[in-house]
Amino acid sequence: MTSGPAPEWAVRALSDVYDPCCREKGISVVDMGLLRSVAVHDGHARVELLLTSGWCPFAARVLTDVEEAIGAQPGIDSCEVEIVWDETWTPDRMSASATRALRFLPDPVAVGDRDAYLSRLTRGAQP
């Protein structure tokens, strides 16, 4: 069994599996960048996932949801999902849509006239 990037069918299957911490924002494990690889050999799928934190309280739920989604695909007889501990998840793994959905601060901007900028902000205008 060789491991590699996830095939398109697996990406589609996991696009409806949500990171529990981001479910209300509609961010899947794929968009969150948690999927590392999917390999299939003789009907057995092996999925590697990263976690955003080693302390993720929902890891068991994510593993179960991923196993069920992949296991339901045609040609898959069994599935195992493993957490990758030797690679750290970083925000640059997120899709553009996930990054936008989780953006808490506006993009930085250059401010030519500090006083005018602050005045607009205090009046409720956008910079």
What torsion do the CA atoms of 25, 87, 10, 60 make, to the nearest 10 degrees? -60
Whichever domain contains 118, its CATH number is 3.30.300.130
Structural domains of the chain, count = 1
Mean pLDDT on 114-126: 73
pLDDT at 27 over 60: yes
Question: What is the pLDDT confidence band of residue 124, given thresholds at 50, 70 and 90?
Answer: low
Q: Is residue 116 part of a domain?
A: yes
At residue 48, the pLDDT reads 96
Q: How far apart are CA 34 and CA 25, in angstroms?
A: 16
Per-residue pLDDT, 126: 55
CB 47, CB 79: distance < 8 Å: yes
How much is the pLDDT for 43?
Answer: 96
98 burial via Cβ count (<10 Å: 0-12, 13-18, 19+): buried
Q: Is residue 118 part of a domain?
A: yes
Tell me, what's the pLDDT at 16?
A: 93
> Is 54 inside any structural domain?
yes
Q: Provide the domain limits for residue 55.
A: 8-122
User: pLDDT, tens digit, for every residue of 57-108?
Assistant: 888 999 999 999 999 999 999 999 999 998 989 999 999 999 888 876 555 5
